[in-house]
Amino acid sequence: MTEAYLWIKAAHLIAVIFWMAGLLYLPRLFVYHSVAKPGGELEAKMEEAEVKLLRTIMNPAMIAAFLLGLILLGYNMPPPLWLLIKVALAFTLIGYHGFLSKTRKQFLESGRPRSEKFFRRINEVPAFFTIAIVLLAIVKPGF
Ligand code: HEM
């Protein structure tokens, strides 16, 4: 492993941590948003918090994690199976990010896109993917 590779991997992990924090926190804001009175003070606060979280933390962190991950992938050609599965699962998280981003816009347009309960339950999705991705990346199973 070259030293450059280790620096890129460290930066990848830092970006992943910030991205994951947002992926786990944004649905929690949606929970509060779902029960806020339409047009009220809490709703305005939630709208502001959601857009800030997405624009200042989640979007840049996702782009950095993705681009740094691609550079790491370039070093690992051809990729072993565990790495291919890890990257596929990471792409699913990008899709989930897109879903959350779309949901934020739906809150602005049509009020309440989903129930409070839905947003409480949905946090299991990134939790499951994170566990699977980290196990693959660290254990590197040889199947
Ligand atoms: C966005 C797309 C992503 C791509 C293309 C990508 C790609 C990569 C690659 C190629 C490596 C190097 C593997 C190695 O040196 O053994 C790596 C390392 C790692 N990635 Fe990602 N990754 C992505 C997202 C994620 C996500 C979302 C997580 C966690 C939830 C994650 C967690 C890790 C970990 C823990 C390592 C370090 C493995 C080690 O210690 O060797 N990655 N990633």
pLDDT tens-digit series, residues 46-78: 999 999 999 999 999 999 999 999 999 999 999
86 is in an annotated binding site: yes
Q: Whose CA is nearest to atom 35 of ligand 1?
A: 134
Question: Where does ligand 1 bind, in terms of residues with CB under 6 Å?
Answer: 9, 12-13, 16, 20, 65-66, 69-70, 72-73, 76, 83, 87, 90, 93, 130, 133-134, 137-138
What range defines the domain where residue 39 resides? Answer: 3-139
Compute the chain's Rg from CA coordinates: 17
CA of 4 to the centre of ligand 1 (A): 15
Per-residue pLDDT band at 124 (split at 50, 70, 90): very high
Q: Which amino acid is at 98?
A: G
Per-residue pLDDT band at 20 (split at 50, 70, 90): very high
Q: Whose CA is nearest to atom 36 of ligand 1?
A: 137
What mean pLDDT value characterizes the chain?
Answer: 96
Ligand 1 binding pocket mutation candidate from 133, 136, 138 (most atoms within 8 A of CB):
133
Structure tokens at 7: 């620096």
Q: Is 83 exposed, middle or buried (0-12, 13-18, 19+ CB in 10 A)?
A: middle
Do the beta carbons of residue 33 and residue 113 sit within 8 Å?
no
CA of 103 to the centre of ligand 1 (A): 27
Q: Whose CA is nearest to atom 10 of ligand 1?
A: 73
In 3D, which of 78, 81, 70, 65 has the Cα closest to residue 18? Answer: 65
- Positive or negative, the CA dihedral 101, 105, 107, 108 is positive
Number of domains observed in the structure of the chain: 1
Helices 3-35 and 59-75: crossing angle, nearest 10°?
Answer: 150
In 3D, which of 89, 30, 99, 101 has the Cα closest to residue 65? Answer: 89
- In percent, how much of the chain has pLDDT > 90? 94
Q: Rounded to whole angstroms, how far apart are CA atoms 57 and 55?
A: 6
Lowest mean pLDDT among 9-13, 93-97, 121-125: 121-125
For 102-122, write each residue's pLDDT tens digit.
999 999 987 899 999 999 999
In 3D, which of 58, 62, 41 has the Cα closest to residue 50? Answer: 58
- In percent, how much of the chain has pLDDT > 70? 100
